Amino acid sequence: MTIVSATLPPITSFRSEVEAMLDIALAAGEIALKHYRGHIHVDYKGYKDPVTAADREINAFVVNRLRDAFPEDAILAEESADEPEKRLGNRRLWCVDPLDGTQEFTEHLDQWAIMVGLAVAGMATAGVVYCPPRDLLMVGVVSEAAWAWNKGEWQSLHVSDVRDPRQATIAVSRSHRSEKIDAIMKYLGMTREIRHGSVGMKISLLATRQADLYIHPSPGTKEWDLCAPEAILRAAGGEMTDMYGRPLRYNKPDPRNPHGLVASNGYLHAKALKAIREV
């Protein structure tokens, strides 16, 4: 990675937070690649829920760095024990997914990412998504803009302006394909799709204009899956809600998201929600 960790995108708000997120994500990427290039031992937390030593090591590293930098803030991380009583009264919550796309990581596919997001007053506010094997680094601040590091500089991210679902591309899971998605695509007249791992990276496909819509019709996501990519998507002009069109909220007593997910370029959002209701 040729990124200079001290280089910041042209932001005015949350500068110290973004600087910390970038430095932490880049350093965590080195840890991830050390495991990725070697033998990966896989354990399972549950059915089809893999975890590796990389997940645990990155999780501990990121959490410790965030605690040092922002001792007053709350942290919710996938591989850390959740303590709701310590975080619920805090206005600021860091959401950490040390390895989003662990299944792809174990298969040595470059469809995984390190994600660090900040929610303020229950709303995704800033986030970094970093995929080390692709040298793909994205950052977004909802009040300002989103950027990707490319060829030695920060370049602005903007969602597509596709308004006709028949011309749109939908991001779909490579390993958890739902029959509901096929029915929604048929209703909308969609034929173009990108199969990809990692919830966060599928959402990021919208910010980089490679896709226009992503629907996750099941209750499987958690706050750490969504905070960073939502901040980037919204900063790039997109929209993200549950399947009822309601805003996603963070720092809830239960970090699970029980009502699915719809992410779009904004123009397709109402049509996607209508298709979900009809299907």
Q: Does residue 219 sit within a domain?
A: yes
Looking at 112, 138, 156, the residue that finishes a domain is 156
Task: Provide the whole-model pTM.
Answer: 0.96
Number of domains in the chain: 2
3-state secondary structure the chain: CCCCCCCCCCCCCCHHHHHHHHHHHHHHHHHHHHHHCCCCCEEEEECCEEEEHHHHHHHHHHHHHHHHHCCCCEEEECCCCCCHHHHCCCCEEEEEEEEECHHHHHCCCCCCEEEEEEEECCEEEEEEEEEHHHCEEEEEECCCEEEEEECCEEEECCCCCCCCHHHCEEEEECCCCCHHHHHHHHHHCCCEEEEECCHHHHHHHHHCCCCCEEEECCCCCEHHHHHHHHHHHHHCCCEEECCCCCECCCCCCCCECCCCEEEECCCCHHHHHHHHHHC
pLDDT digits (tens, 9 = 90+) for 103-114: 999 999 999 999
Within this chain, do residues 182 and 231 fall inside the same structural domain, yes or no?
yes
Give the pLDDT confidence score for residue 141 in this predicted structure: 98
Output the average pLDDT for the chain. Answer: 95
Q: Does residue 7 sit within a domain?
A: no
Give the pLDDT confidence score for residue 175 in this predicted structure: 76
Q: Does residue 260 sit within a domain?
A: yes
Give the pLDDT confidence score for residue 119 in this predicted structure: 98
Q: Does residue 193 sit within a domain?
A: yes
Within this chain, do residues 183 and 140 fall inside the same structural domain, yes or no?
no
Q: Does residue 146 sit within a domain?
A: yes
Q: Which domain holds residue 24?
A: 15-156
pLDDT digits (tens, 9 = 90+) for 139-158: 999 999 999 998 789 999 99
Mean pLDDT over residues 90-99, rounded?
A: 98
Looking at 131, 156, 181, the residue that finishes a domain is 156
Within this chain, do residues 38 and 113 fall inside the same structural domain, yes or no?
yes
Instruction: Indicate which CATH number applies to the domain containing 145.
Output: 3.30.540.10
Looking at 156, 185, 208, the residue that finishes a domain is 156
Q: Does residue 6 sit within a domain?
A: no
Share of the chain above pLDDT 70, in %: 98
